[in-house]
């Protein structure tokens, strides 16, 4: 993927205008808020550029997966 796109959702640069009070328009780039993160996919960690919305989603999913693994371990240890 491109350097300015989210690896998950594809969110990228948008174009628009700054509009002053006098309605003068100047060109403006709206860039996505991307962060490089190491994300757990299956059993491996991959480095990805993600927008903050996708980053939050992946972190929540990662917490659920790790909690499920921990509960399986404690149940197995209790037997």
The pTM of the full predicted model, rounded to 2 decimals, is: 0.70
pLDDT confidence of residue 40: 80
Query: What does the CA dihedral 32, 4, 51, 58 come to, rounded to 10 degrees?
Result: 170
pLDDT confidence of residue 37: 93
Number of DSSP helices (H) and strands (E) in the chain, helices first: 1, 4
Full domain range(s) for residue 22: 14-78
pLDDT confidence of residue 75: 63
Q: Is residue 3 part of a domain?
A: no
Q: Is residue 4 part of a domain?
A: no
Q: Is residue 9 part of a domain?
A: no
CATH of the domain at 55: 2.30.170
Q: What total of structural domains would you count in the chain?
A: 1
Residue 25 CA to residue 39 CA, distance in Å, equals 40
Q: Is residue 7 part of a domain?
A: no
Average pLDDT, the chain: 88
């Amino acid at each position: 993927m491109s350097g300015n796109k989210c690896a998950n959702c594809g969110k990228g640069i948008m174009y628009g205008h700054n509009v002053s009070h006098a309605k003068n328009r100047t060109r403006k780039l709206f860039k996505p808020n991307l962060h490089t993160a190491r994300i757990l996919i299956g059993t491996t960690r991959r480095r990805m550029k993600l927008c903050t919305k996708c980053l939050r989603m992946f972190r929540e999913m990662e917490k659920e997966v790790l909690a499920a693994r921990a509960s399986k371990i404690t149940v197995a240890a209790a037997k």
